[in-house]
């Protein structure tokens, strides 16, 4: 469970400003991965071990596929 005293906005700014992650580049990458699925009205897309959930034409969350999760678990051993 994440602490409620740290907002998602604060986490995003930390990623951008402290860790220097280019979040706009991440946004563009997600868009390029999902634009066709969005255009045809898909609710989900699985690509390269990543599952994108799409609601009303917007990607609302991203998870790892079960296969990719299992692979990461094996690599961690």
> Alpha-carbon distance 37 to 46, whole Å?
10
Question: Does the residue 2 lie in any domain?
Answer: no
Q: Hey, what are 64's tokens?
A: 């790892």
The per-residue pLDDT for 4 is 75
Residue 34: how many other CB atoms lie within 10 Å = 21
Question: Does the residue 1 lie in any domain?
Answer: no
The per-residue pLDDT for 40 is 98
- pLDDT tops 80 at residue 2: no
Question: Does the residue 3 lie in any domain?
Answer: no
Question: Does the residue 60 lie in any domain?
Answer: yes
Q: What is the pLDDT of residues 9-55, one digit of tens each?
A: 999 999 999 999 999 999 999 999 999 999 999 999 999 899 999 99
The per-residue pLDDT for 71 is 82
Question: Does the residue 26 lie in any domain?
Answer: yes
The per-residue pLDDT for 9 is 95
The per-residue pLDDT for 31 is 97
Range of the domain at 72: 8-76
- Which residues make beta-bridge pairs with 53? 44, 61
Domain count, the chain: 1
């Amino acid at each position: 469970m994440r602490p409620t005293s740290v907002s998602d906005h604060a986490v995003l700014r930390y990623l951008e400003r402290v860790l220097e992650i280019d979040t706009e580049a991440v946004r563009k990458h997600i868009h390029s991965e999902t634009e066709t699925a969005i255009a045809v009205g898909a609710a989900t897309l699985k690509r390269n071990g990543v599952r994108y959930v799409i609601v009303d034409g917007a990607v609302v969350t991203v998870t790892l596929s079960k296969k990719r999760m299992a692979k990461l678990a094996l690599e961690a051993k």
